[in-house]
Amino acid sequence: MSSPTTVEVRNTCEADFDGVIGLCRRVYPTAAPWTRTQLASHQAVFPEGQFVAVQGDRIVGMAASLIVLWDDYDAHMTWRGFTDHGLFTNHDPARGRTLYGAEVMVDPEFQGEGIGSQLYEARRGLVIRLGLRRIRAGARLRGYHQVADRMSPEAYVDAVERGELIDPTLSFQLNRGFRVMAVVSGYLKGDPESMGFAAVIEWINPAAAPEIHVPEPPR
Ligand SMILES: CC(C)(COP(=O)(O)OP(=O)(O)OC[C@H]1O[C@@H](n2cnc3c(N)ncnc32)[C@H](O)[C@@H]1OP(=O)(O)O)[C@@H](O)C(=O)NCCC(=O)NCCS
């Protein structure tokens, strides 16, 4: 872990792309990083939804998001489905009221120093500014592989929610006001830690007007 640092969170720009790709390689050494095509597409469709955490000239964290109309999706859809293969070309600000958190990551050398919390704070600020209803995301169950021989992913999530087990990702999100809506399989390809399992999680904007469902009149 590095010494305490001053980190600025701001919107991503094209000059950050190499730094973001380097960050991906440090966080997920065996997975393909974001491509320049995907990062440029995020800038084209929703620049306000993309954040980096910067210390000096080093990118130490990032968060990427898009707006979706939740009813267009099935909660069991894969990450690729929710993000149009990572391009965010399904971004739908005209109809959507849900900010979909497609990525959040912090440099392993800087984890546990509050940078992830700063990125989440920036996301919540965006949701409040845009008057969106909620944030939803798939939280990969990063610690599940350690217990997969003895418990189901649902039992694992229950134990994490009760605080009996700590998951390095889901516990962080629950501590930031998210709740679990569902447990899904096949969410991320090639993630040996979660084995593809994820919790669909939600944070509600307290300032947003609730959605009103008017019951059908009796016939
Ligand atoms: C999840 C993640 C974004 C959190 O970022 P972070 O900067 O470490 O988070 P913070 O320092 O703001 O908060 C840390 C919290 O997580 C815990 N934590 C998580 N990873 C930690 C680490 N490596 N070292 C110390 N604490 C850690 C802290 O105890 C703290 O607990 P709290 O919730 O009781 O406050 C970061 O760990 C990460 O990039 N993980 C790998 C990528 C990933 O899994 N992303 C999520 C995809 S769904």
What domains appear along the chain, each with residue ranges and CATH number? 1-132 (3.40.630.30), 138-206 (no CATH)
111 C-beta closer than 6 A to ligand 1: yes
Give residue for tokens 């690729």: 80
* 98-106: strand order across its sheet: 8-11, 50-55, 58-68, 98-106, 134-140, 198-204, 179-184
HSE-CB of 130 using CA atoms within 13 angstroms: 22
- Per-residue pLDDT reduced to its tens digit, 27-69: 999 889 999 999 999 999 999 999 999 999 999 999 999 999 9
User: Residue 140 CA: which ligand 1 atom is closest?
Assistant: 48
- Per-residue pLDDT reduced to its tens digit, 98-111: 999 999 999 999 99
Return the amino acid letter for 90. N
Q: Which helix (H) or strand (E) holds 21?
A: helix 17-27
Give backbone dihedrals phi and psi of 50, rounded to 5 degrees, phi first: -110, 130
pLDDT (tens place) for every residue of the chain, 219 residues total: 555 559 999 999 999 999 999 999 999 998 899 999 999 999 999 999 999 999 999 999 999 999 999 888 887 888 999 999 999 999 999 999 999 999 999 999 999 999 999 999 999 999 999 999 999 999 999 999 999 999 999 999 999 999 999 999 999 999 999 999 999 999 888 889 999 999 999 999 998 866 666 666 665
Contact 158, 144 (CB under 8 A): no
Write the DSSP symbol of residue 71. G
112 C-beta closer than 6 A to ligand 1: yes
Using the mean position of ligand 1's atoms as its centre, give its distance from the Cα of residue 111 in Å: 6
168 C-beta closer than 6 A to ligand 1: yes
Contact 99, 49 (CB under 8 A): yes
d(CA 206, CA 16): 32
d(CA 66, CA 173): 18
123 C-beta closer than 6 A to ligand 1: no
Model pLDDT, residue 199: 96
Note the maximum CA span of the chain: 68
